[in-house]
Amino acid sequence: MEQITLCPRVEKGIQILSKRWAILVIYRLLSGPQRFCTIEAALPISGRLLSERLKELEQEGIVNRKVYPETPVRIEYSLTEKGRALEPVVREIESWSSAWVLPEEKVEA
Amino acid sequence: MEQITLCPRVEKGIQILSKRWAILVIYRLLSGPQRFCTIEAALPISGRLLSERLKELEQEGIVNRKVYPETPVRIEYSLTEKGRALEPVVREIESWSSAWVLPEEKVEA
DNA sequence: TTTGATACTTACTTTTCGTAACTAAATGTA
DNA sequence: TACATTTAGTTACGAAAAGTAAGTATCAAA
């Protein structure tokens, strides 16, 4: 499996965004800072993986984690400047989706 | 794991694009039709998965498969109109990557 | 002292993915 | 005719990633 790279930055960028749930989490955070439990409730993602993914996005400098030492503890996740810079990407996905994606049909079990 | 959906179409759109290798394959195909072996050589993807992913993208109506019964057989994959409509998404990822993503450092084993 | 809430973490199972070997079809070569 | 060659896969199997569910840490109110 050899690679002939078009552009290594773009390929790395795509890799970051292609990780499962990454774009969906960013999509949520574009509407403002959110707590862990709010993101968890909004997406069909497991807490285990959300925790992992947020940590990765934090390491990439896309997401910011802020602890409020209240009771019970409140932790807010928000987008960094690098994260907010992804807004045009998400907006383009939005308009593509509106134009081309059919809403999922609910399938009964 | 309950969901409160912002927009079901957008979430489905994001899900489609979030599948591993999907955007990278589309990125490649934006520069024109490509054969199976060319895409395989260009990305660190296994043939097994490329085959699977292309089949999925074909079912989503994003990719087109054309068989040339030459010897040996030649099969060209290209983007449909729905697939080409993703170009703005990829262009935005490109500009985000140029602005924010650092090139990967090669790590010696 | 117990309960309750949030934000995780751990243990375990299921699904997805990568590797490598194999198949199918069509031709060229000995 | 038999065998090799090339492309585009498929299959079998082990490894890695992700889902599920239960447990932990922290703090403070009851």
Instruction: Kindly identify which residue of chain B lies nearest to residue A106, measuring between CA atoms.
Output: B8
Q: Is domain B18-89 annotated with CATH 1.20.1250.20?
A: no
Residue A103: which pLDDT band, with cuts at 50, 70 and 90? Answer: confident
Q: Please answer whether residues B93 and A7 qualify as being in contact, where contact means their C-beta atoms are separated by less than 8 angstroms.
A: no
Nearest of B87, B84, B31 to residue A89 by alpha carbon: B87
Q: What DSSP string runs through A9-77?
A: HHHHHHHHHHSTTHHHHHHHHTTS-EEHHHHHHHSS--HHHHHHHHHHHHHTTSEEEEEE--SS-EEEE
| The token pair that represents B75 in the structure block | 């099969």
CATH class, domain A16-96, is mainly alpha
Domain boundaries, chain A: 16-96
A28 and B CB contact within 8 Å:
yes
Instruction: Kindly identify which residue of chain B lies nearest to residue A5, measuring between CA atoms.
Output: B42
Rg of chain B over CA atoms, in angstroms?
Answer: 16
Among A1, A98, A102, pick the best mutation site for testing chain B contact (most B Cβ within 10 A).
A1
Residue B2: which pLDDT band, with cuts at 50, 70 and 90? Answer: very low
3-state secondary structure of B43: coil
User: A53-95 pLDDT, tens per residue?
Assistant: 999 999 999 999 999 988 789 999 999 999 999 999 999 999 9
Among A17, A29, A102, pick the best mutation site for testing chain B contact (most B Cβ within 10 A).
A17
User: A21-30 pLDDT, tens per residue?
Assistant: 999 999 999 9
Q: Per mean pLDDT, which range of A51-55, B5-9, B98-102 is the poorest?
A: B5-9
User: B46-101 pLDDT, tens per residue?
Assistant: 999 999 999 999 999 999 999 998 878 899 999 999 999 999 999 999 999 999 99
The Cα of B18 is separated from the nearest Cα of chain A by a number of Å equal to 5
3-state secondary structure of B88: helix
